[in-house]
Amino acid sequence: MNNENAEVRDPVNPSSEPHAPLGLGSAMFLVAASMIGAGVYTTSGFTLAALGSPAWVLAAWATGGGIAICGAICYGALARELTESGGEYLFLSRKLHPIAGLMAGWVSLLAGFTGAIAFAATTFETYLGWHDAMPTGVIATLVVVLAAILHTLGVRPGARVQDFVVILKFLLITAFVVIAVAMHSNAAADVPVETSVSEAVPWTAFALIFATQLMYISLSFSGFNAAVYIAGEVNNASRNVPRAMLWGTCLVTLCYLLLNAVFVLAAPSEVIVGQPDVATKAAEAIAGETFASFVRVVILLGLFTSVSAMIMSGPRVYAKMADDGFLPAWFRFSGRIAGKPPVAAIWAQAILGILVIHASDLERLLSYLGFTLSVSAALTASLLFWVRGKSGARIRPLLYPITPVVFVGGTLLAATLSAVNSPVQAAVGLGTIAFGALLYPWYAWRQKQRGEAVGE
């Protein structure tokens, strides 16, 4: 037997698989699928209006990518120590305190996956544009159900289909960039040169404007850590999970920079400034309505893979919480069969996502997600400042302490600005985080009672 391609069964989770069904490629594509949704296609029109210069727009996206890459490096250091599935819940439970893990687990359950699934599915419905054909929410619901069916079939089959769609998505994005550059070169379009806002306002005021735009951009990078949620099912997880996050984040960052270069440089600025649908507006300006329709297909693929990736990732967190007694036992993985997913948790996740689809609007949901996820991610990465690994030495990621300082600082800045812009949603986010803490005494009491019953 090839030891490098085998996983030791997790003694804490008896349902973990002796042969991990997922490889580096599937883990990396999961990261890419989680990251690329609607954000990159909708944000830059507002960013250009705020910053006033294509160069500053690209600088903002490059900064967001740099922060996400630092986050991938930080999470990778933790993933080398803890190779089970579970993400922030696992890291905080094992390295800080179970109460911190429970708080992060509830963030995942109520915001990190449920809210994000609802947002991506609802945006899919909006881009599809069949408003007159079906009632609101029906298409979004069908997208969630289809993704749940896909991942109920098995870990490997679901991942293979998702891998194929992600590869197709990257090929279409590449085609879009190539065609846009070719059409722009042939047309020799004269794009107006904007006056940078930085030249018209004090640098302190411009820095705040730049940071505010970075807050919105950061949501497009929020899936960089997706591989840690399925680490227990990844072959040679201590090596492949950190690589999947780093390589996937770098690939998506490059993709974002190329797309935004097309949006803000190849199309006339007046067409995209302040527009919520910058990708299709730019495509239509470059090559007409047919090209814009092509871009809508790319966006729809991205949104479906985003829903699919979160339907795959989220239930793994709940399965680990069930193993620790924080959720009902039926959330666990379905037996000892290799490649068997946590079916009950997948469908519970789908139902929660569908409920949110019919109960919230996109704007409020977006503000809530931005604040809540930023706080959870910053707390997780801050573990690197004091925790120790299995060897007893401090866990130090590449370029320590620069990488955790950049990621934690940038993420907390985004959370602060989100709270200032949407205080009600921030308060709800803090309530979500606190909810897990309030539940912990009851869980601790219940586990104590069980222990005493077993002792008798």
* C-alpha 345, offset from chain centre: 19
Query: Which tokens belong to 25?
Result: 């490629």
The closest alpha carbon to 217, from 411, 431, 3, 429, belongs to 411
For residues 375-396, one letter each, b for 16 or more C-beta atoms within 10 angstroms of the residue's C-beta and e for the rest, the string is bbbbbbbbbbeebeeeeeeebe
- What digits encode the pLDDT tens for the residues 46-65? 899 888 889 999 999 999 99
**pLDDT given for residue 19 in this prediction:** 65
Q: Find out whether 47 and 278 touch, Cβ atoms under 8 Å.
A: no
Query: Which tokens belong to 180?
Result: 């846009």
Segments of 212-290 assigned E as strands: none
pLDDT band with cut points at 50, 70 and 90 for residue 444: confident
Asked if pLDDT for residue 338 goes beyond 60, the answer is no
Diameter of the chain measured on Cα atoms: 83
Question: Between residues 194 and 23, which one has the greater pLDDT?
Answer: 23
- What digits encode the pLDDT tens for the residues 226-244? 999 999 899 999 999 999 9
Ramachandran category for residue 334: left, alpha or beta (phi over 0 → left; psi -120 to 50 → alpha): beta
Asked if pLDDT for residue 4 goes beyond 50, the answer is no
* C-alpha 8, offset from chain centre: 28
Minimum mean pLDDT range among 70-79, 153-162, 347-356, 363-372: 363-372
CA atoms of 60 and 215, how far apart (whole Å): 10
Q: What is the DSSP letter of 191?
A: P
Alpha helices in 153-235 (DSSP H): 155-187, 203-218
**pLDDT given for residue 189 in this prediction:** 46
| Domain definitions of the chain by residue range | 11-441
Q: Find out whether 414 and 215 touch, Cβ atoms under 8 Å.
A: yes
pLDDT band with cut points at 50, 70 and 90 for residue 454: very low
CATH superfamily for domain 11-441: Amino acid/polyamine transporter I (1.20.1740.10)
Given the structure tokens 């967190």, which residue do they identify? 317
**pLDDT given for residue 69 in this prediction:** 97
For residues 110-146, one letter each, b for 16 or more C-beta atoms within 10 angstroms of the residue's C-beta and e for the rest, the string is bbbbbbbbbbbbbbbbbbbeeeeeeeebebbbebbbe
Q: Find out whether 275 and 281 touch, Cβ atoms under 8 Å.
A: yes
The closest alpha carbon to 214, from 50, 346, 361, belongs to 50
pTM as predicted:
0.86
Most confident stretch, 19-23, 71-75, 351-355: 71-75
Average pLDDT along the chain: 83
